[in-house]
């Protein structure tokens, strides 16, 4: 049963280096996918097996991960959290930001289903997908943003981890997507949230003088007619 969230989290997900595996996850349609279409995201770490085995048993999972991917450094737990977050912390309804630098696009969508795992049987589904990618989540793509779009630079800063929770609210994400400036940038602006929020009636010239009588340029006092 899907675990649907009431408070969506924003996740950054790299599907392969620089998002190189995203096209392979959409083999039946041209890339990039259409906005509103369904697709997949995927990550590697195949040696830990199906993550559903470890649900509700993080301690055993960490031992398994340390055996499968030995690492004596302090980042071991950080690395282990990547598939754990992908499988269990990511919820249906959460947002995902997925750069695909190799194709010059960035995809933004919502997680639409539970975690799935697949090996040989998935090879037929994603023939060009790298064999290490065995952990999957279905998504619905809502926004496809080109690298030339100013919004791309604001959304492309998702860090370096394969899966990472972003320090961004849903409102902040939607404001960027909709081209609305942040509150601190709007403060004191004539145009408020965005251009077009101040409407000048037809026939009104904002550059016209406001004084009916002539004024002294230095003092602003009205001059007497002589």
Burial of 65 (0-12, 13-18, 19+ CB in 10 A): buried
β-pairing, 10-13 vs 163-165, is antiparallel
Q: What is the pLDDT of residues 11-46, one digit of tens each?
A: 999 999 999 999 999 988 899 999 999 999 999 999
- Average pLDDT score over residue span 179-204: 60
Cβ atoms of 163 and 85 within 8 Å: the answer is yes
Residues pairing with 92 in the sheet: 4
In a domain, 159, yes or no: yes
Closest C-alpha among 94, 85, 126 to residue 112: 94
Round the CA-based radius of gyration of the chain to a whole number and report it: 26
151-178: burial string, b at 16+ Cβ within 10 Å, e else: beebbeebeebbbbbbebeeebbebbbe
pLDDT in tens, 62-121: 999 999 999 867 788 889 999 999 999 999 999 999 999 989 999 999 999 999 999 877
Residue 177 lies in a domain: yes
- The answer to the question of residue 55 being in a domain is yes
Assign 193 a pLDDT band (cuts: 50, 70, 90): very low
pLDDT at 220 over 70: no
Whole-angstrom Cα distance, residue 21 to residue 14? 9
Residue 207 covered by a domain: no
Q: What is each CA distance from 173 to 143, 152, 166, 211, in whole angstroms? A: 11, 12, 10, 45
Reported as type and span, the H/E element at residue 98 is strand 95-100
Is 2 inside any structural domain? Answer: no
Q: How many domains does the chain have?
A: 1
Cα separation, 49 vs 119, in Å, equals 9
User: Is 36 within a domain?
Assistant: yes
pTM of the model: 0.78
- The verdict on residue 205 lying in a domain is no
| CATH code at position 161 | 3.10.590
CA distance 66 to 40: 28
Mean residue pLDDT of the chain comes to 85
Range of 167's domain?
A: 10-186
**Is residue 147 in a domain?**
yes
């Amino acid at each position: 049963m899907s675990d649907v969230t009431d408070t969506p989290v924003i996740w950054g997900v790299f599907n392969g280096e620089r998002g190189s595996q995203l096209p392979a996850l959409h083999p039946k349609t041209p890339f990039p996918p259409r906005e509103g279409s369904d697709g997949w995201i995927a990550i590697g770490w195949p040696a830990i097996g199906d993550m559903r085995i470890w649900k509700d048993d993080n301690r055993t999972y960490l031992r398994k991960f340390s055996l499968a991917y030995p690492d004596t450094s302090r980042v071991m737990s950080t690395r282990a959290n990547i598939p754990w977050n992908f499988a269990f912390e990511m919820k249906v309804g959460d947002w995902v930001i997925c750069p695909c630098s190799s194709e010059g696009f960035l995809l933004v969508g919502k997680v639409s289903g539970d975690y799935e795992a697949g090996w040989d049987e998935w090879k037929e589904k994603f023939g060009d997908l790298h064999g290490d990618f065995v952990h999957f989540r279905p998504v619905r793509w809502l926004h496809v943003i080109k690298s030339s779009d100013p919004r791309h630079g604001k959304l492309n800063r998702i860090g370096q981890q394969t899966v990472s929770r972003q320090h961004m609210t849903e409102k902040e994400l939607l404001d960027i997507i909709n081209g609305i400036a942040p509150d601190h940038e709007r403060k004191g602006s004539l145009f408020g949230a965005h251009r077009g929020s101040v409407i000048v009636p037809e026939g009104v010239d904002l550059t016209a003088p406001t004084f009916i009588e002539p004024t002294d340029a230095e003092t602003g006092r009205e001059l007497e007619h002589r």
